[in-house]
Amino acid sequence: MSYVDEVYERVVAQNPGESEFHQAVKEVLDSLKLVIDANEEKYRKMALLERLTEPERVISFRVPWVDDNGQVQVNKGYRVQFNSAIGPYKGGLRLHPSVNQGILKFLGFEQVFKNSLTGLPIGGGKGGCNFDPKGKSDREVMAFCQSFMTELYKYIGADQDVPAGDIGVGGREIGFMYGQYKRLTGLYEGVLTGKGLTYGGSLARTQATGYGLVYIVDEMLKKNGKELSGKTVVISGSGNVAIYAAEKAQQLGAKVVALSDSNGYVYDKDGIKLDIVKDIKEVRRGRIKEYADQVPGAVYTEGKGIWTISCDIALPCATQNELNLDDAKILKANGCFAVAEGANMPSTREATDFFLENHMLFMPGKAANAGGVATSALEMTQNSQRLSWSFEEVDNKLHDIMVNIFAKADDAAKRYGVPGNYVAGANIAGFEKVVDAMMAQGIV
Ligand code: NDP
Ligand code: 2IT
């Protein structure tokens, strides 16, 4: 059996029940076959892939807090410190009832390659909790965040591990966590990113993942003789990534006709009005259904089905495995020619293979959504310098980083004889830097 297949079997056997982690490892290892086969003996002896697929550390802990009725609640908190070969662990915190160790390991594993692709000195990590922020009062969210940080603070630090936001974690939660970290440690340091602008946050971090996604789509289209302007775009989700992807797509002349949340989706043939979406989602924390109540002509449909809307470009920006093979086939049949993942692993493996086999332009999440973590790293730099850069300066750097990521994925795909396969290209390019650093640092 080849080394790659052996390691995959070992991962499945040693991490039972963690299907998302298995899925993420398989996709990466399959792409790496091209590289590993050429160096099999050396890598096998060094147990390189065994080390790459085993997190350096998984911390799990109890999170007790008191709800508004005086009832004590208990949640499960985690931090997966996956790989620190190229820098301190870096990656978001997810608060969602579905969170478990396997999901955080998949996210941490992806983060290692994503962070490498940014070209910045950040290792990979991820954390979170099965706490559901939906329907909770601000006081309950604060009580939870303070309890979560009271355990987490022991394991993080500006040069050690720097968490940020992800699903369910935005400015409000980062603020509560930062306050508690500072209270416990007495340190005013860049231990979290996505902070508010009055206490060390970076301009453009809020927009960065969505803007970065559209910058790399724009670049991918240009390099393939196409353009974004005038195209119809469907975006799933209506959270941080989806909203700012829609904003940048509109700024570049595309028409965004649909957004969704976990209840259903809205279709607005005239183009989504983002000021209304921002008010519903960022101010009132409401449901996307309310958009159709406010905008004449907009239609709300309960349930899944957003990918049945015809479009040129699809940007899945909600969650893992939200776009399956049937969705991929419908997208293609309706004329969609490009897909880029704002979310982490939103396309199932079968959907991804379909996009590649049908020569659609497909940019995987670890490249496409890297603008968020890249700008987090820029926030870390500003914190270390004790300076704040202008919006334009950060945004220009973000744009350059995304253009560079495209070039790296494109180049690696060409070097290994699979031009246009940005899945293989991103995995290989991300891997090359991490493996070089791991080999140089010995058996650790
Ligand atoms: P938010 O919490 O701001 O928004 C998440 C959106 O996705 C909401 O509209 C939510 O709907 C929807 N959603 C979440 N879970 C599900 C589900 N199980 N089924 C259907 N819809 C769902 O999160 P973000 O926008 O920050 O994150 C979205 C994706 O982007 C995630 O995959 C995240 O890992 C990834 N990402 C985020 C980055 C960031 O900087 N924030 C950076 C890189 C990637 P509802 O409100 O109904 O739950
Ligand atoms: O998945 C991701 O890259 C994020 N949630 C952002 C991580 C970060 O550290 O900004």
Crossing angle between the packed helical segments 391-415 and 422-440, to the nearest 10 degrees = 100
What is the chain's alpha carbon radius of gyration, rounded to the nearest angstrom? 21
pLDDT of residue 1 exceeding 90: no
On the question of pLDDT at 46 being above 90, the answer is yes
In the reported structure, the alpha carbon of residue 181 is separated from the centroid of ligand 1 by a whole-number distance in angstroms of 25
C-alpha pair distances (Å), 111 with each of 30, 225, 248, 261: 17, 30, 24, 24
Residue 59 has pLDDT above 90, yes or no: yes
Q: Does 34 have pLDDT greater than 90?
A: no
List the residue whose alpha carbon is closest to atom 10 of ligand 2.
373
In order, the DSSP letters of 196-260 are: -GGGTPPTTHHHHHHHHHHHHHHHHHHHTT--STT-EEEE---SHHHHHHHHHHHHTT-EEEEEE
**3-state SS, residue 405:** helix
For residue 166, the CA-to-ligand 2 centroid distance in Å is 6
Contact 340, 334 (CB under 8 A): no
pLDDT confidence tier of residue 274, bands split at 50, 70 and 90? very high
Which of the ligands is closest to the CA of residue 164? 2
What is the number of other CB atoms lying within 10 angstroms of the CB of residue 225?
6
Which secondary structure element, helix H or strand E, spans residue 278, and what is its range? helix 274-278
Q: Which helix (H) or strand (E) holds 427?
A: helix 422-440
pLDDT in tens, 137-190: 999 999 999 999 999 999 999 999 999 999 999 999 999 999 999 999 999 999
List the one residue out of 96, 27, 76 whose CA is nearest residue 237: 96
Is residue 166 within 6 Å of ligand 1 at its C-beta? yes
The pLDDT tens digits for 110-151 are: 999 999 999 999 999 999 999 999 999 999 999 999 999 999
CB-CB neighbours of 283 under 10 Å:
8
- Ligand 2 atom closest to the CA of 194, numbered from 1: 10
Cα–ligand 2 centroid distance for 51 (angstroms)? 23
Choose among 163, 114, 190: nearest CA to 381: 190
The identity of residue 410, as a single letter, is: D
What is the helix, strand, coil percentage profile of the chain, to 5? 50, 15, 30
Which of 79, 317, 366, 376 most suits a substitution to test ligand 2, by most atoms within 8 Å of the C-beta?
Answer: 376
Tens-place pLDDT, residues 348-389: 999 999 999 999 999 999 999 999 999 999 999 999 999 999
Instruction: Answer yes or no: is the C-beta of 321 below 6 A from any ligand 1 atom.
Output: no
Give me the active site residues, please.
126
Is 38 a residue whose pLDDT tops 90? no
In percent, the amount of the chain with pLDDT more than 70 equals 100
For 94, the enclosing helix (H) or strand (E) is: strand 89-95
pLDDT at residue 88, as a whole number: 98
426 conformational bin, left if phi > 0, alpha if psi -120 to 50, beta if neither:
alpha
Does residue 48 carry a pLDDT above 90? yes
